[in-house]
Chain A
Amino acid sequence: MPSKRTISGWGRYPVIEAREEFPAGRETLSPKLNAPYLPRGQGRSYGDAGLPASDHTALNTSYLDRFISFDPVTGILEAEGGVTLERILRFSLPRGFFLPVTPGTMFVSLGGALASNVHGKNHHRCGSIEHFVTEFEIGTPSGTFTCSRESNRELFLATLGGYGLTGTITRANLKLKPVTSIQVDCLRIRAKNLEAMFRLFEEHDTNFEYSVAWMDALAKGGNRGRGILMLGNHSDMPVTGNRSREKTKLRVPFPMPGMLMNNASLKVFNTAIYLFSRHGKSRENFESFFYPLDRILDWNLLYGKQGFLQYQCVIPDPHGQQGIESCLRFLSDNGLGSFVSVLKRCGDDEVMLPFCKRGYTLALDIPFHGTKTLRALDRLDALVIDYGGRVYLTKDARLKPEAFRAMYPEYKTWMDTIRHFNPEGKISSRLAERLKLWDA
């Protein structure tokens, strides 16, 4: 049995001591599923969704990473649950296929992407990854099941966006999307304030498959919500011969001094980006469009030892715009800085515990300054709840159980299904403990 070690999510808060096992291949998995555990992928969820509950072992899927089949006609790729999106792209791009939905980093596992039902810059067009999963196999404490929309539907819908609590996705079929190029035709437009930003979204994002806005969350008054809207469509210049060249990556070697991320430096950074970043039309490599942060490995260490909190909420229509404005006002009134703030329009998710609702979603990276930060975010939760919004659990490390229940009225049905397959909480996470899911 391996000894305990420290592990954390991408935000490096909280950090816990736990055992971690690394089974090599699907065929070696079953004996490991007997002890209390939690499946864990690449640890790119920010908070504690990927951290095992006390006395549970993390079952790391890094070596469950094999392809099983690929059909170039339908674009359906069958792979083990731990294969990374990076590996999928390395395989699929030269063959003219891209991920149907992708988060802002390719260093996540397929199983992790399904367990968070990830959304991408095309959510307003085609929803979350749930729509492209044709089938998966899952090992639960009550047995192994093959799930799809047609068979074992409940388990299918409770597992997608189910944060690992139903079991381990051992293999999945993902329908990739044909593209002719690895490049993206982009349009970047500067918005001088939030009102202008919303207008730009409404004007443009129907013509573009991908849209997302980067915002200066520290700007106040008439500048509040200023930022840059980034729009993109897959270019139709052929891919042939482009085995995209790998760029050398930078790595942050160790946690930077906490001082680095103070409100003054955040302000300078955000203002500089607003003023100096490119705008207008361009043609970009998919990596710089979809995965700008992946250029710097371990960038989370920039936030220092104390880590940071990611706060992503969605505010549904018809109050989306108003709600986002209130959130931004709240941030500046409370002196909460955010290094990178992202705004995006989204549609409705259809899984059992959906995060995305038709409206706007705002994601913030907030340096962690202890209880002060935590208390402020509790108040932000209250505001989000007033607007009928919710917080994304895969990014969360601090939401209170009551707030969770207010945000996610669907949780009861979801928990009923989880209990059906995982009756004794043999699979459990710190997230589940913190939100008191087992008491629900």
Chain B
Amino acid sequence: MGRIVIFSATSGIARAVAEEFLAQGEELVLTGRSKESLDAVARDLQVLSGKAIPCFVWDVLGFAEHERLFRELIAVHDISGLFMAAGIQIPQKECDAEPAKTLLTFNTNLNGPVAVMTLFAQHFKQTNSGFISCVSSVAGDRGRGSITAYASSKAGLSAHLQGLANRLKNTGVLIQCVKPGYVRTPMTAGLRSLLIVSPRWAARDIVNAIRKKREVVYTPFFWKYIMLVIRAIPEPLFRKLGL
């Protein structure tokens, strides 16, 4: 049994997913862009599981480093799965004022994760096993005026994962696109909504869905129906709603 590598293990959702994996007896490797934060999270998980967990400092924006880091990782560890959580959400107002922030959004949410996942997808394809579970968002299900950059980066990510799943359909590799609604993490800090759930809730859904080999996961489940409705709203009306 190999290890599951968690990308951006410092994320609220990833920490909960890591806890859930550990509770099921899985072995992990953690990555993140800040050594200090990564070490703190690794320590926390070590207290919980009683096992030391290897860490790799890995910035999804470090495009020139991906290949080298990937080789280093697979040289020491047998990797059986990948969970990707890297992502940022910058207020649309700031993206409008500074185009660089739109780019940063795309690079962090789409280009970086895709670059990393491409390496692993090839690797898993060769061994005919393994999984990639990547956190996209319900926001990617429709172009949105209020969060244009974020939503379109996630739309690209969801489409990429769908494509990848199609390409690898006859292999033993699972490609999973996770679409959370609202989860209580630093990204949504302070958000008040009746629909918001704990990262543990999302994590259980995700780990269950990996076990069941599901390619698209809405968490909590009811977002599937909410998004069904949202996608069905005709554009003129949608515009009026200003979502």
Bound pair: A and B? yes
User: Are A60 and B194 touching (Cβ within 8 A)?
Assistant: no
Q: Which residues in A have their C-beta under 8 angstroms from that of B10?
A: 24-25
A25 to B9, CA, bound (A): 13
Q: Which of B47, B186, B194 is A68 in contact with, Cβ under 8 Å?
A: B47
B186–A22 touching, CB < 8 Å: yes
Given A69-B47, A91-B48, decide whether A60 and B37 contact each other with a Cβ distance below 8 A.
no
B226 shortest CB reach to chain A, Å: 17
Instruction: Tell me the bound Cα distance from A26 to B44 in angstroms.
Output: 13
Per the bound structure, the CA–CA distance linking A62 and B40 in Å amounts to: 15
User: Roughly how many angstroms separate A26 CA and B10 CA in the complex, as a whole number?
Assistant: 12
Shortest A21–chain B CB gap in Å is 8
Given A63, A66, A70, A251, which contacts B189 in the complex, CB threshold below 8 Å?
A: A63
* Cβ contacts under 8 Å, A2 to chain B: 190
Q: Is B41 located at the chain interface by the 8 A CB criterion?
A: yes
Q: Mark A21-56, 1 if CB is under 8 A from B, else 0.
A: 010111110000000000000000000000000000
- Chain B residues 166 to 201 lying within 8 A of chain A, measured CB to CB, are 186, 189-190, 194
| A70-B48 Cα distance, complex, nearest whole Å | 9
> B37 near A25 (CB under 8 angstroms)?
yes
> Across the interface, do A62 and B48 meet the contact criterion of CB distance under 8 Å?
no
Question: Please, how many residues of chain A have a CB less than 8 angstroms from a CB on the other chain?
Answer: 20
Give the complex CA separation of A67 and B43 in angstroms.
7
A28 & B37 in contact (Cβ 8 Å cutoff): yes
| A22 and B189 in contact, given A27-B40, A63-B12, A253-B194 (Cβ under 8 angstroms) | yes
- The answer to the question of B235 belonging to the interface, with a C-beta cut-off of 8 Å to chain A, is no
**Are B43 and A69 in contact (CB-based, < 8 A)?**
yes
A253 cross-chain contacts in B, Cβ below 8 A: 194
Is B98's CB within 8 Å of the partner chain A?
Answer: no
Q: Which B residues touch A26, using CB under 8 A?
A: 40
Query: Would you list which residues of chain A between 65 and 82 have a CB under 8 Å from chain B?
Result: 66-70
Q: Is A287 an interface residue (CB 8 A)?
A: no
Q: Pick from B36, B47, B189: contact of A67, CB below 8 A.
A: B47
Distance between Cα atoms of A75 and B73 in the complex (Å) = 36
Binary per-residue interface labels of chain B (22-41) against chain A in the complex, 1 for a CB within 8 Å, 0 otherwise = 00000000000010110011
Task: Give every chain A residue within 8 A of B189 (Cβ-Cβ).
Answer: 22, 60, 62-63
A20 contacts chain B at the CB level, 8 A cutoff: yes
What chain A residues lie within 8 Å of B190 (beta carbons)?
A: 2, 5, 20, 22, 60
Checking A5, A28, A66 against B43 with a beta-carbon cut-off of 8 angstroms, the contacting residue is: A66
Tell me which residues across on chain A come within 8 A of B48, comparing CB atoms.
67, 91
B47 surroundings in chain A (CB, below 8 A): 67-70, 91
Provide the bound-state CA to CA distance between A56 and B40, in Å: 28
- What is the distance, in angstroms, from B35's C-beta to the closest C-beta of chain A? 10
Closest to A27 in B: B36
A348-390 vs B, CB cutoff 8 Å, 1 = contact: the mask equals 0000000000000000000000000000000000000000000
| Least Cβ–Cβ distance between A65 and chain B, in angstroms | 8
User: In the assembly, what is the distance between CA of A60 and CA of B40, in Å?
Assistant: 19
Whole-angstrom distance between the Cβ of A83 and the nearest chain B Cβ? 9
Q: How far is the CA of A69 from the CA of B194 in the complex (A)?
A: 34
Q: Are A25 and B40 in contact (CB under 8 A)?
A: yes
Most chain B beta-carbon contacts within 10 A, residue among A2, A5, A27, A251: A27
Query: Closest residue to B47 on the A side, CB-wise?
Result: A67
Q: Which residue of B lies closest to A70 (CB)?
A: B47
Q: Which of B10, B190, B194 has the most CB of A within 10 A?
A: B190
CB within 8 Å of B: which A271-295 residues: none
* Closest residue of B by beta carbon distance from A66: B44
Measured CA separation A253–B196 after assembly (Å): 12
Rounded to whole angstroms, the CA-CA distance of A251 and B197 in the bound complex is 12
What residues on B are CB-neighbors of A5 within 8 Å? 190
How near does chain B come to A395, taking the closest CB pair, in angstroms?
Answer: 23
Identify which of A62, A66, A69, A251 contacts B41 (C-beta below 8 A): A66
The answer to whether B37 touches A68, judged by C-beta atoms less than 8 angstroms apart, is no
Chain B residues in 8 Å Cβ range of A62: 189
Tell me the bound Cα distance from A379 to B40 in angstroms: 51
B136 to chain A, nearest CB (A): 21
Residues of chain A within 8 A (CB-CB) of B186 are: 22, 24, 63
Residues of B within 8 A of A69 (CB): 43, 47
A179 smallest CB distance to B (angstroms)? 19
Chain A nearest CB: distance from B198 CB in Å? 10
CB distance from A71 to the nearest CB of B (A): 10
Chain B residues whose CB sits within 8 angstroms of the CB of A91 once the complex forms:
47-48
- The CA of A44 and the CA of B186, in the complex, are separated in Å by 20
| Shortest Cβ gap from B205 to chain A (Å) | 15
CA–CA, A28 to B186, complex, Å?
12
A5 to B189, CA, bound (A): 12
Contact with B along A236-255 (1 / 0, CB 8 A): 00000000000000010100
8 A Cβ contacts from A58-109 to B: 60, 62-63, 66-70, 91
Chain A's closest residue to B15 (CB) is A66
**Cα(A5)–Cα(B190), bound, Å:** 9
A221 to B47, CA, bound (A): 56
- Give A1-25 interface residues, CB cut-off 8 Å to B: 2, 5, 20, 22, 24-25
Residues from chain B with a CB closer than 8 A to the CB of A68 are: 40, 43-44, 47
Beyond A24-B10, A60-B189, A251-B194, list 4 extra A-B contacts (CB 8 Å).
Answer: A22-B186, A25-B10, A63-B12, A91-B47
16 contacts across the A-B interface (CB closer than 8 A): A2-B190, A24-B37, A25-B36, A25-B37, A25-B40, A27-B34, A27-B36, A28-B37, A63-B189, A66-B43, A67-B44, A68-B44, A69-B47, A70-B47, A91-B48, A253-B194
- The 9 A-B residue pairs with the shortest CB-CB distance, nearest first, are A22-B189, A66-B44, A67-B47, A27-B36, A24-B186, A67-B44, A70-B47, A63-B186, A25-B37
Which of B's residues lie within 8 Å of A, judged by CB?
A: 10, 12, 34, 36-37, 40-41, 43-44, 47-48, 186, 189-190, 194
